[in-house]
Each structure stands twice: as structure tokens, then as C-alpha cells.
Amino acid sequence: MKEKSSTAYLFECYIWLVNTLARGPISRADLDRKWARSNANAYGQDSLPESNFHRWRRTVELIFDITIACNSNNEYYIAEMDKSHDADLHNRLLTIMGVNSLLKDSKNLRDKILFEPVPSGDKFLAPIIEALRDEYAIQITHQGFGKAYPSTYLVEPYCLKMFKQRWYMLAYSPGTDDMRVYGLDRIHALEPTRQRYKLPKVFDAEFYFRNHYGVSDMDMQPEEVEIKIEAYQANFLRTLPLHPSQIEVDRREQFSIFRYYIAPSFDFRQELYKHGPVLEVLKPQWLREEFRKNLAYQLSKYQD
């Protein structure tokens, strides 16, 4: 059984609270009844203690940047967000939390809803979120792919990002005086410190990643990229764009042409390669030439 003070248990309680309030205004009495029946209530409490409720409420507001309000009927609810970006982020967060919480409370559904596996590393999510919230540095032992040995760094977390079923942390390293992206599944150990730092007020995580796909080559400059893709495959890009800058500049019966303003990073190029022969890079010329050479090399492997 999880300890009441453990990060994992508290994080599960926060998720339950947000998901419950997201369903609409609820009184404290109804909240108590739901808590008594919840699988998140690992200690069989008959009600949600008032001190726990307000402590979780404050923490949830800090961590997830949402407002838990109380109406004239003394019912609690999650307040609407005005900005479209915040509302979108808010809705995605609630969707993730809602599914997670519902699955925990509906054991008979667990074998009927299938998810893609996520590499280990999520155990470090909660302490990193707490470090982001309280703005204290953490010490991590990290071993990147291709590295023979792990290294230990003191880092100041700036944001978390999920990409391709993996969690990544963007952090400033005082020792190297630069920003780096660390895969959580490549962290061997993490220790909080008492060293405080101040996240720059001008830092905007979405703005930082705006011209990128994924987490690689963050120093790469953006440029105009055009691809030509067969009509059937174009449906997938049309319904789930690769990047916010995506524009369909030409649509015909046999193919479509999409344009991006993006850094053609390793992650982005790998995504294009996945479409195989149905995709053609039109520009920039250097990227078109790279694809031509790589495809010629790949073809040579199949020549007897």
C-alpha cells in the first residue's frame, strides 16, 4: 500500500480531484461520497478531510495552472479559461486525467481500452513537477543514447514535454551554461536539492518549441519545407497535422502538397521517412538531396 505522503499517492489523489471536479459543480458532501467509493481512496476513508481537500486544491492549481472555484451554492468546479491556448491545454490535461482516473475506478474496463506502452521514466514525473512548481534545482544521473557511461548534472527544470510516448525535460544546466533536453527514460537517479532558481518570466515553453517537431536539434533554424504526398496518405496529415505551421497549398486527385515553416530536425526528418515511397520532399534542395541519397543507399541493400 502506498504511503499517504508518497509523491505517487498524492499525485494520484490530485488526478482524482481534478477529474471529479471536471464533471461539473459538486458539493463537499457529494465529493465526500465519491471519495469514499473511489479506488484512489487507498485507506478507506468515509470522507475527504477538509484539510486534505484545501491542500490538494492549492497544489492542483499551482501544478496544473487551473482554477478551482466555488459558486453561490457552495459547489466546487473548475473555472473556464478565456485564452484559446490555455483552454486547449486545459482540455487536453483533463482528458488525460479523466481517462486515467476512470480506468482506476472501472477495473472491468482495463482489458477493453488499449494504450501504447510508455518507456520507464514516468516515476520521475512527480518530483520534476514539484521542482517546477517550487523552483528548486534537481540533481539527475542521466545516460543518453550512445553514451558509454551515465553522467550527473545539476539542472534547473524549465518544462516537461511528451513526444512519441516518451517524457522529456527541458532544463538549464548551470555547469555547462546551456539548455538541454533530457529523456526521463534515460534518467538513472534523481535527487531534489535546496538550491533555488528563478524561471525567467519571459520563458514560454510553447514559444520555445514553436518551430520544432520533437525534441532534437533545438539550435537548428527554421526554414520553409514542402512535401508532396499521395492522396490517401494526405488524409492522415490533413486530420492530424505534423506541425501547427502546416498548410495544404495544393490538393489534387492523386496527391497533395503541404508546406511547413519548421526546423528540419532529426525528429522531423525521421517522421517524413516513415511515409516511405508515397512522400517526396520538394524543398529545400539540401533536404531533397539528402532523401535522394538515403533512398539510393537503402535501395542498394536490396540489390543481389
**126 and 105 assigned to the same domain:** no
Residue 115 belongs to a domain:
no
Burial of 19 (0-12, 13-18, 19+ CB in 10 A): buried
Same domain, 175 and 93: no
Answer yes or no: do 19 and 95 share one domain. yes
In a domain, 185, yes or no: yes
**Same domain (yes/no): 98, 177:** no
Task: Specify whether 40 is located in the same domain as 101.
Answer: yes
- Rounded (to 5) percent helix, strand, coil in the chain: 40, 25, 35
Using alpha carbons only, what angle is made at residue 298 by residues 296 and 302, rounded to the nearest 5 degrees?
A: 105
Which DSSP state fits 83? S
Q: In the structure grid, which three cell numbers stand for residue 107, read together?
A: 477495473
Count of structural domains, the chain? 3
Query: Which residue is listed with cell 534547473?
Result: 156
Q: Which of the listed residues 109, 141, 169 is the one where a domain comes to its end?
A: 109
- What is the pTM assigned to this prediction? 0.69
Which three cell numbers, joined as nine digits, stand for 51? 484539510
Helix (H, G, I), strand (E, B) or coil at 23: coil
Cβ atoms within 10 A of the Cβ of 144, count? Answer: 12
Residue type, 137: A
Domain check: are 11 and 105 in the same one?
yes
DSSP state of 100: H
Residue 154 is part of a domain; what is its CATH number? 2.30.30
Whether residues 96 and 29 share a domain: the answer is: yes
Q: Where are the alpha helices (DSSP H) in 65-122?
A: 84-105
Task: Please report the pLDDT score of residue 9 as a whole number.
Answer: 76
- Please answer whether residues 183 and 140 qualify as being in contact, where contact means their C-beta atoms are separated by less than 8 angstroms: no
The answer as to whether 39 is a domain residue is: yes
The edge-to-edge listing of strands for the beta sheet with 26-27 is: 26-27, 75-78, 68-70
Alpha-carbon span 150 to 140, nearest angstrom: 10
Range of the domain at 45: 7-109
Strands 178-183 and 247-251: unpaired
Q: What tens-digit pLDDT sequence spans the chain (304 residues)?
A: 445 556 667 777 888 888 788 778 999 999 999 898 887 787 888 899 998 999 898 888 877 777 899 999 999 998 865 444 444 545 555 555 555 555 555 555 556 666 666 666 667 887 888 888 889 999 999 998 989 999 999 999 999 998 988 889 999 998 888 999 999 999 999 999 989 999 888 999 999 999 999 999 999 999 999 999 999 999 999 999 999 999 999 999 999 999 999 999 999 999 999 999 999 999 999 999 999 999 999 989 998 7
In a domain? residue 52: yes
Q: Are 167 and 160 in contact (CB under 8 A)?
A: yes
CB of 231 closer than 8 Å to CB of 255: yes
Is 69 domain-assigned? yes
Strands (E), 2-134: 26-27, 68-70, 75-78
| Phi, psi of 153, deg, nearest 5 | -130, 150
Q: How many CA atoms lie within 13 A of 52 on its CB side?
A: 18
Whether 147 and 181 share a structural domain: yes
First to last CA, the chain: 60
Q: Answer whether residue 19 is part of any domain.
A: yes
- From the list 136, 28, 41, 21, the residue with the least C-alpha distance to 90 is 21
Residue 281 belongs to a domain with what CATH number? Answer: 3.30.70.250
**Element containing residue 150 per DSSP (H, E):** none
Residue with cell 484559446: 84
